[in-house]
Amino acid sequence: MFHLTPETEEDGYEVEYLYDLAFAPGREALSSYRLREGVAPVADLCLAARDDYGVLAGAIRYWPVVIGDTRDGALLLGPVAVHPTYQGEGLGGLLVRDSLDRARDLGWSRVILVGDAPYYGKFGFVKATTLAFPPPTNPERVLCRALEEGAFDGVAGLIGSVSAP
């Protein structure tokens, strides 16, 4: 059994270690990290998953971003990681589903991510045909999900940092 709680400052080092373990070296060089620089994550949506013994088993984070010249607000999902010893147990799906529900409850209407369509498609994500992610990102991997009907209607353009003018 896993227990999901908002990530705390005390969780920070463990969560970063988990991300280092789960992703290739140099993960901070990805364009998604440029969107996060100087921006605080959405604390209520950053979750730590622990097992019954208190061991960190997974984590997920979200960041605010803007879209296009109109600077429509959205969430950038990621990273999400599950410790290798817990992979295949549905924890990644639990983190994604639970956090999307929390995002909707907090009034967010749009979520964007860079990931695998076959995996994230089961959570309602589709290819973001009107959105552009900063290079070098494969446009086939840019996915989006509306948390309310029509949230992406008329929304288009380059995804940017909330800290950029």
Domain containing residue 26: CATH number: 3.40.630.30
- pLDDT band at 36, cuts 50/70/90? confident
Domain membership of residue 105 as a residue range: 3-161
What is the enclosing helix (H) or strand (E) of 47? strand 47-50
Residue count of the chain:
165
Looking at residue 164, what is its pLDDT?
66
Q: Is 71:26 a contact under the CB 8 Å cutoff?
A: no
For 90-132, how does the pLDDT look when each residue is reduced to its tens digit (9 = 90+)?
Answer: 999 999 999 999 999 999 999 999 999 999 999 999 999 999 9
List alpha helices for 62-147, DSSP H: 91-105, 117-120
Looking at residue 124, what is its pLDDT?
98
Looking at residue 22, what is its pLDDT?
85
Long-range (24+ apart) CB contacts under 8 A made by 83-89 are 83/18, 83/21, 83/22, 83/55, 83/56, 83/57, 83/58, 84/21, 84/22, 85/57, 86/51, 86/57, 86/58
* Closest alpha carbon to 81 in 59, 100, 96, 107: 59
Q: What is the CA radius of gyration of the chain?
A: 15
Looking at residue 151, what is its pLDDT?
98
For the cut 60, the answer to whether the pLDDT of residue 29 exceeds it is no
- Cα-based angle 65, 151, 156 (whole degrees, multiple of 5): 60
* Closest alpha carbon to 47 in 79, 5, 102: 5
Looking at residue 33, what is its pLDDT?
62
d(CA 106, CA 104): 5
The count of C-alpha atoms lying within 13 angstroms of the C-alpha of 99, restricted to the half-sphere facing its C-beta, is 34
Domain tally, the chain:
1
